[in-house]
C-alpha cells in the first residue's frame, strides 16, 4: 500500500472558478477526513466520512464546498466559485475504526487562487 494519495499536488486557479480535489485513502481504512491548513496554522477539520456516509461537517464548510465518497473508497472535495480566502493546503487523512492507531495523512493539495 502506498499510503494516502492526493491529486493534484498543486492547483492554481482564477477566482470564481470551480476546483475538485481527489483523495485515495489506504484501502482497508473505512474513515476518511478532509482538513484545510493555512500558513502558520494547524490543520482545520472540514468533514469526515465513514464508508460512504458523511458523518460530520465543520461550520468552516460553507455551501460552496461539497465532499463525496460515493463507493466508500476515494473521495472528492469540490469548491465552487473559489475566493481568495480559499487559498490553502487541503489535506486528506484516513483511518480504520477501532484500531486507535491514528490517522494517515496524504501530502495535501496546495490551492492558490489568483
Partner 1 sequence: DAKTTQPPSMDCAEGRAANLPCNHSTISGNEYVYWYRQIHSQGPQYIIHGLKNNETNEMASLIITEDRKSSTLILPHATLRDTAVYYCIVSKQAGTALIFGKGTTLSVSS
Paired residues of 12 in beta bridges: 112
Q: Is position 21 an interface residue for partner 1 (rule: CB under 8 A)?
A: no
Burial call 6-26: b when 16+ CB within 10 Å, e when fewer: beeeebebeeeeebebebbbb
Considering only residues 18, 38, 41, 112, which one is a binding residue for partner 1 as defined by CB under 8 A?
41
Q: Give the count of residues interacting with partner 1 (CB under 8 A).
A: 24
Q: Pairing relation of β-strands 104-105 and 31-37? A: unpaired
Considering only residues 94, 106, 111, 113, which one is a binding residue for partner 1 as defined by CB under 8 A?
106
What is the sign of the dihedral through the CA atoms of 98, 50, 71 and 20?
Answer: negative
Give the cell for residue 3: 499510503
The least distance separating partner 1 from the CB of residue 83, rounded to whole angstroms, comes to: 23
Binders of partner 1 in range 43-102 (CB under 8 A)? 43-45, 48, 56, 91, 93, 97-98, 100-102
What residues make contact with partner 1 under the rule CB under 8 A?
Answer: 4, 33, 35, 40-45, 48, 56, 91, 93, 97-98, 100-108
Amino acid at each position: 500500500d502506498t499510503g494516502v494519495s492526493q491529486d493534484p499536488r498543486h492547483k492554481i486557479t482564477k477566482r470564481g472558478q470551480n476546483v475538485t480535489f481527489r483523495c485515495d485513502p489506504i484501502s482497508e481504512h473505512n474513515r476518511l477526513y478532509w482538513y484545510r491548513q493555512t500558513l502558520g496554522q494547524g490543520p482545520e477539520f472540514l468533514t469526515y466520512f465513514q464508508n460512504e456516509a458523511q458523518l460530520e461537517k465543520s461550520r468552516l464548510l460553507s455551501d460552496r464546498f461539497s465532499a463525496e465518497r460515493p463507493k466508500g473508497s476515494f473521495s472528492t472535495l469540490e469548491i465552487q466559485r473559489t475566493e481568495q480566502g480559499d487559498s490553502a493546503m487541503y489535506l486528506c487523512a484516513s483511518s480504520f475504526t477501532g484500531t486507535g492507531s491514528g490517522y494517515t495523512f496524504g501530502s495535501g493539495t496546495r490551492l492558490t487562487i489568483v
